Amino acid sequence: MPINQYLEHTLLSATCTQADIGQLIEEALENNLFGVCIPPAHVKFGSDLIGGRSLRLVTVAGFPNGYSKSAVKSIEADQAFQDGADEVDMVINLSAVKSANWSNITEDFNSFVHVAKSIQRISKMIIESSLLSENEIRIVCQIANDSGIDFIKTSTGFNGSQARIEDVRLLRNLLRPEIKIKASGGIKTLSQARDLISAGALRIGTSSGVKIAKDYEAAH
């Protein structure tokens, strides 16, 4: 599959403007990228701009720290879907992970999946894998496997966390085959994207989507 069909062109800056979002979407359309990932406040605008064109609209919930209550994050996700989002990337409650509060993590997954599946939308949970121990990742993956989540996403990119090849490989080994992986956080080059895809990622979240797509085109 061409690299552009792995790419979610991303802009989640706190100071991004509506004009910035419009430019991001036009860039993604011009380069035939898979999707865009934008802040929740801009989803309705983005959905109207995309119209019926084949560009997936992705947004976030509980971003970037994840420590809101599960019910609140699920309401946020539901509103995003109502506004036109195809997919939502929700941040796991990292405080609960570090506290070994696994019932809270189970609630994070189950309430989110229920909202998404009730309207046939895609759910992704961001786990900040580079901030977790291997044992924490294993337990989170066990919960994910029982939840019906569609994707596990490595990182927000906002907490000093990066997409790491070893984390993607570990996730691919621990997750059910039907649960896909999105790598995100600090991905700026075609080489990085290729390595993460080879490790098991099906999506790449990056603010360098256009550059990566153009470098791929130039190499082929």
Q: What is the DSSP string of 131-182?
A: GS-HHHHHHHHHHHHTTT-SEEE---SSSS----HHHHHHHHHHS-TTSEEE
Q: Looking at the annotation, which residues are catalytic?
A: 89, 153, 182
The answer to whether the beta carbons of residues 105 and 137 sit under 8 Å apart is no
Other Cβ atoms closer than 10 A to 47:
18
